[in-house]
Amino acid sequence: MKKISWDKLRQGMKLVFQPGKRKLDLKNIGYLPRWIILAIDISILLFSAIVTFMLLQGLTLSFYTRLTRLEELLMVVGVNIVYFLLFRTYAGLIRYSSYIDGLKLLFSTFSSFITLAGISYLSYFIAGEKLFLVPGLFMYFIISFAFLFLFRVVVKQVFHAFFGETRKEEKTKVLIFGADSNAISVANAIRTEQPVRFKILGFVDKSNHNTSKRILDLPILSKNKRMSVLLRAHGAQGVILADKHLTKAEKIELVDDCLENGYKVFTAPLVSDWENEQDFSGQIKNIQIEDLLERKPIVLDNKSISKELKGKRVLVTGAAGSIGSEIVRQVLKYDPELLIIVDQAETPLHQLRLELNNLSGEVQYETVIADVRNYERMNRVFEAFAPQVVYHAAAYKHVPLMEENPSEAVFVNIMGTKNMADLAVEHHTEKFVMVSTDKAVNPSNVMGASKRIAEMYVQSLYFSNKEKKKKTTRFITTRFGNVLGSNGSVVPLFKEQIAKGGPVTITHPDIIRYFMTIPEACRLVLEAGAMGKGGEIFIFDMGEAVKIMDLATKMIRLAGFIPEEDITIEVTGLRPGEKLYEELLSDKAKTLPTHHEKIMIATETIDDHEYVKKAVLSIYEVARKYKNDKTVKLMKNLVPEYKSMNSLFESLDSGTSGPGPAADNLPAAISEKEEKQVYGTGRHRVGFPG
């Protein structure tokens, strides 16, 4: 008889269960329901009890208990089931069992032993008779744990032997950067997972303290050379960053070194952040540009924010946008009484509502389709919900589009803000937080100028009411730069261009920008809103400026390509209204510190509300006739630092007045009747003449 080799047996099994040609596909079989796993474990408990009884009968022990064998069995199995449920031993996926599952089984069975032994001794002290033979319980504990653990090991090994991925060329050879507990946990998770994605060659210790030792039978390497040299010396293809103490500067230096030499860089989450232990390698990802631009986590004054929001009715405009939706998510954490979510975009608002169904918990929320340009509609929203706090994030923000459509920028960014601010005062809203932009500082485009005028309106409205000694809405403005991942941001644009094979387009080789993540920006908006007393313009510490050319080059390398060889970078020229750099503060303004290191107050104060109001209504009157040049001219008169760049409106700069609005271009006075006429009958939607 011919011997059947293990390889032939394995190959035969593969053919039997070959995907697409079989009646039974064990490799892709669905995970068994938890109740079936629990039923199998109970069967193992019963079998272990039978084995224990048989072993005890073979021993020359004489003992007497008050319970029958059936009663003993039911009680022992019952207590074990209780601890199975408590420790959730049945919840793991058997084919992906790890040492954590083994520990759960150990704790569960040992707890059962202690409980049953305790009950037996308690019965002895009370009634003078033991319920169980304690040595027999201990024997049962050992046997049941061994069988339960063996069952999991056998199932895992069967799946690994017959259905695991075995093509060695698919494994990426890596070093793990780090030698602490987090790095060890990462290595354990990688080694116990199927299919295996990485082959670990060793650990890299930046402290150089443990280089003579080994972890998991793998060497600890010293970081006394460049990372690329270590990778080359050990035949590795990449590195997994698992050192939780790695600084941003160290990370950037290491990543740059690896990318320039063609090595892959992966990031692993902290153990505390693991989403799913069974799918850990899915959480090890190629390093992204966001990982290199991120900063230290922001520490919020949760007590003061909670005081401002807990139990309050909060309204968010532009709630379906990238900034507005994140403000909504973060406000939810502070348990408001009611969250009113307003946007004019139907589909994104619907998607946000579906998300909130899972996030909102007990917080009540209302989704409202409304346009901030429509005074009458927004008035009804205020009447219906009486918001106590407003976050105004609705705005047009794309510079080239607003340069082509200045009237629309006036309708939404200026008049939309005016509508919301006036309604907040009229309905006695406690606080109004406006989301602005660094493009409002020394604006070079229509969008930035429109946001600056909106800032001026809300600030002057506050000081006007304060001067009249009215108890009024506290108006606060927050100003920050570009946010990563927002709609229209350069980062997702570059990712899309790289995915298509290029070219990556930038407008100028020397252009620089400040970046902040969306969650970080929104946390600072909440913090500034909580600390604001009224009339402030808060500016955020945006960190170091980033050269867009360097950003594009790094993103191409992160994607595994070589700049200018695999993917080219094309310079297209500055767009209309675009600056080489953005500012958070005007030349004449200074800053005052706050208790938060990342938030400052700009000493820019506009308090002549009647003047600003006349200018705004004058701009609107011209804008609703779609006279672009005249509209922009009036904006420049109100914001004298507004100087167009690379724009059709540059010719208007020569006649711009000095500081402050040009009186010759504004109405001499405006009555309430005239204001209503400017808005249109009944204050209907602005921007639609007639």
Q: What is the pLDDT of residue 94?
A: 65
Q: What is the pLDDT of residue 539?
A: 85
Helix (H, G, I), strand (E, B) or coil at 221: strand
Q: What is the pLDDT of residue 388?
A: 96
Q: Which of 485-499, 575-589, 645-659 has the lowest mean pLDDT?
A: 575-589
Helix (H, G, I), strand (E, B) or coil at 477: strand
Bond prior to 195 in cis (omega within 30° of 0):
yes
Tell me what the pLDDT averaged over the chain comes to. 80
**Start-end of H helices in 590-671:** 609-623, 628-638
Partnered with residue 547 across adjacent β-strands are 512
Partnered with residue 480 across adjacent β-strands are 437
* pLDDT beyond 70 at 453: yes
Fold classification of 306-483+515-542+583-602 (topology level): Rossmann fold (3.40.50)
The percentage of the chain sitting over the pLDDT mark of 70, rounded to a whole number, equals 77
Interval 378-411: pLDDT, tens: 999 999 999 999 999 999 999 999 999 999 999 9
Does the active-site annotation cover 439? yes
Domain borders along the chain are 31-163, 168-287, 306-483+515-542+583-602, 609-683
Rounded Cα gap, residues 181 and 656, in angstroms:
64
The catalytically annotated residue of 130, 264, 439, 598 is: 439
Confidence of residue 627 (pLDDT cuts 50, 70, 90): very high
Per DSSP, the residues of 70-128 read HHHHHHHHHHHHHHHHHHTTTSS-GGG--HHHHHHHHHHHHHHHHHHHHHHHHHHHHHS
Interval 500-515: pLDDT, tens: 888 999 988 888 887 7
Confidence of residue 597 (pLDDT cuts 50, 70, 90): confident
Per DSSP, the residues of 331-387 read HHTT--SEEEEEES-HHHHHHHHHHHHHH-TT-EEEEEE--TT-HHHHHHHHHHH--
Rounded Cα gap, residues 637 and 629, in angstroms:
12
* pLDDT beyond 80 at 282: no
Q: How many residues does the structure list for the chain? A: 690
* pLDDT beyond 70 at 22: no
Residue found under tokens 């160290």: 250
Rounded Cα gap, residues 455 and 271, in angstroms:
44
Q: What is the pLDDT of residue 191?
A: 75
* pLDDT beyond 80 at 687: no
**Start-end of H helices in 179-285:** 181-192, 227-233, 248-260
* pLDDT beyond 80 at 260: yes
Q: What is the pLDDT of residue 610?
A: 93
Best-predicted range by mean pLDDT (58-62, 291-295, 334-338)? 334-338
May I ask the CATH architecture of the domain 168-287? 3-Layer(aba) Sandwich (3.40)
Interval 470-496: pLDDT, tens: 788 999 999 887 777 666 678 878 888
**CB burial readout 209-238, b (16+ within 10 A) else e:** eebeeebeeebbbbbeeebbebbeeeebbb
Rounded Cα gap, residues 373 and 626, in angstroms:
16
pTM over 0.75: no
Q: What is the DSSP letter of 567?
A: B
Partnered with residue 516 across adjacent β-strands are 483
More confident: 209 or 138: 138
* pLDDT beyond 90 at 599: no
Confidence of residue 21 (pLDDT cuts 50, 70, 90): very low
Strands (E), 426-536: 431-437, 474-480, 482-484, 504-506, 512-513, 515-517
Residue found under tokens 């004019």: 344
* pLDDT beyond 90 at 56: no
Rounded Cα gap, residues 332 and 359, in angstroms:
8
Interval 291-311: pLDDT, tens: 776 666 566 667 788 888 999
Burial class (CB in 10 A: 0-12, 13-18, 19+), 21: exposed
Mean pLDDT (whole number) for 520-545: 84
Mean pLDDT (whole number) for 625-634: 94
Per DSSP, the residues of 171-207 read SEEEEEE--SHHHHHHHHHHHHSSS--EEEEEEEETT
Q: What is the pLDDT of residue 64?
A: 54
Interval 179-229: pLDDT, tens: 888 888 888 877 766 667 788 898 988 876 666 678 878 888 887 778 888
